[in-house]
């Protein structure tokens, strides 16, 4: 059993299926607290469309302060506004990442052996896949907005005599590149000791600098194998030979696209968690924001169809990285795996001969399995 403790968790369910899957993640965390004698204090806040409608902002200063004062943040999903809306729900994530300095997004991809047939990729290609993508979160094209006192970073649509034109600015500093690459190498040392740095150095100046800095940092890790890969080649190899990857590190836009592609190795985006970590250490670990990667999926919201597994595995990452509760995290992961092996599936994982469960029912089965595992000390 881990050391008993009291922890504060900010919960931001958000939009679409966010509240449904987050509810199940909290349900599983409550089962962990009960079994291991911990006390989790959940503080709820609005983000995304819900916050825009109630507070006029994608995330309020008050909610941001609650997050800042917590040990970790459990996040659902945001999105669903019409293009061209004055305030975008995604601004909540950008503000959290920038304001709380979450610069490193970790997305592990390890398909369940019981679900290799659920992927559109051949099972033999998926054998042994266990990779993690480290995505830089606070630089690049997504942060080219015009800021007061910061010249030369336009991101806008403007009218010219010839018609409209649009511009975005891709900016990276040497320091931003170095810190994310070091995260990747430190992770690789705990895993299979291989880093693949992904860029577009044959076209982009930012990638030329990225490659130069990554090469320099790699010299500090002689025990870790290191390679460069162009992003188009990486996209191909993720499908062709995914088991060859250990830790992939890349910039913001490339990471956004590659991680969605990599999610299909696991059969569904509803299976994959993520952690966004920063520089601040808490009493127990690294302060972080934890979210499933699947987005708000408004088309199935409120129908008890959403897969809660990504949100539940996200809660396990929260326990491991921010609260230092590794045994409890492993209990959740084992509970999820055992439920999958038992043949339980949600709608997105429909398989012949498997039992299809709703969001709440799947969450309940996993919580029950957590209780059984923790009680038997078999983890």
Q: Helix (H) and strand (E) counts for the chain?
A: 12, 14
Q: In sequence order, which ranges of 201-251 are alpha helices (DSSP H)?
A: 205-218, 231-240
Which residue carries 């649009």 as its tokens? 166
Candidate list 117, 220, 232, 299, residue with the active-site label: 232
Using an 8 Å Cβ cutoff, are 232 and 201 in contact? no
Candidate list 7, 36, 88, 142, residue with the active-site label: 142
3-state secondary structure of 168: coil
Q: Is 102 left (phi over 0), alpha (psi -120 to 50) or beta?
A: beta
Q: In sequence order, which ranges of 112-173 are alpha helices (DSSP H)?
A: 123-126
- Look up 326 and say whether it is catalytic: no
Using an 8 Å Cβ cutoff, are 259 and 293 in contact? yes
Using an 8 Å Cβ cutoff, are 97 and 313 in contact? no
- Look up 117 and say whether it is catalytic: no
Candidate list 36, 199, 200, 221, residue with the active-site label: 200
Beta partners for 356? Answer: 345
Pairing of strands 131-136, 247-250: parallel
Q: Which two tokens mark 67?
A: 């997050």
Contacts of 41 (CB under 8 A, 6+ apart): 6, 7, 8, 9
Candidate list 130, 168, 186, 260, residue with the active-site label: 260
Candidate list 153, 194, 256, 354, residue with the active-site label: 256
Beta partners for 104? Answer: 136, 277
Return the axis-axis angle of helices 326-341 and 18-36, rounded to nearest 10°. 120
- Look up 142 and say whether it is catalytic: yes
- Look up 369 and say whether it is catalytic: no
What is the distance between the alpha carbons of residues 269 and 357, in angstroms, rounded to a whole number? 17
- Look up 200 and say whether it is catalytic: yes
Instruction: Catalogue the active-site residues.
Output: 142, 200, 232, 256, 260
């Amino acid at each position: 059993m881990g050391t008993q403790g009291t922890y504060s968790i900010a919960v931001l369910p958000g939009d679409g299926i966010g509240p449904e899957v987050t509810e199940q993640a909290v349900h599983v965390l409550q089962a962990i607290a009960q079994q291991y004698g911990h006390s989790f204090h959940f503080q709820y806040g609005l983000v995304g469309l819900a916050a825009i409608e109630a507070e006029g902002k994608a995330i309020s200063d008050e909610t941001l302060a609650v997050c800042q004062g917590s040990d970790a943040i459990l996040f659902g999903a945001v999105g669903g506004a019409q293009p061209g809306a004055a305030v975008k729900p995604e601004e909540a994530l950008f503000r959290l990442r920038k304001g709380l300095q979450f610069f490193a997004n970790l997305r592990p991809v390890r398909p369940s052996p019981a679900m290799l047939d659920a992927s559109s990729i051949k099972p033999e290609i998926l054998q042994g896949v266990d990779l993690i993508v480290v995505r830089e979160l606070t630089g690049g094209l997504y942060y080219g907005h015009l800021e007061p006192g910061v010249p030369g970073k336009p991101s806008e649509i403007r009218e010219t005599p010839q018609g409209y034109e649009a511009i975005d600015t891709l900016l990276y500093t040497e320091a931003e590149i170095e810190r994310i690459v070091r995260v990747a190498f430190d992770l690789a040392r705990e895993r299979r000791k291989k880093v693949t740095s992904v860029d577009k150095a044959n076209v982009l100046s930012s990638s030329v600098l990225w490659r130069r800095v990554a090469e320099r940092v790699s010299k500090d890790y002689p025990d870790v194998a290191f390679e460069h890969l162009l992003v188009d080649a990486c996209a191909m190899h993720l499908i062709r030979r995914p088991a060859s990857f250990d830790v992939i590190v890349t910039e913001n836009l490339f990471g956004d696209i590659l991680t969605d592609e990599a999610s299909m190795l696991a059969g569904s985006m509803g299976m994959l968690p993520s952690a966004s970590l920063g520089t601040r250490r808490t009493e127990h670990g690294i302060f972080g924001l934890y979210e499933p990667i699947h987005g708000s999926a408004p088309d199935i919201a409120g129908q008890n169809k959403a897969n809660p597994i990504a949100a539940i595995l996200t809660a396990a990452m929260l326990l491991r990285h921010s609260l230092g509760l590794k045994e409890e995290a492993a209990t959740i992961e084992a509970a999820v795996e055992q439920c999958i092996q038992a043949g339980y599936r949600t709608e997105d994982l429909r398989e012949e001969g498997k039992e299809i469960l709703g969001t709440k029912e799947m969450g309940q089965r996993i919580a029950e399995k957590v209780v059984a595992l923790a009680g038997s000390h078999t983890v």
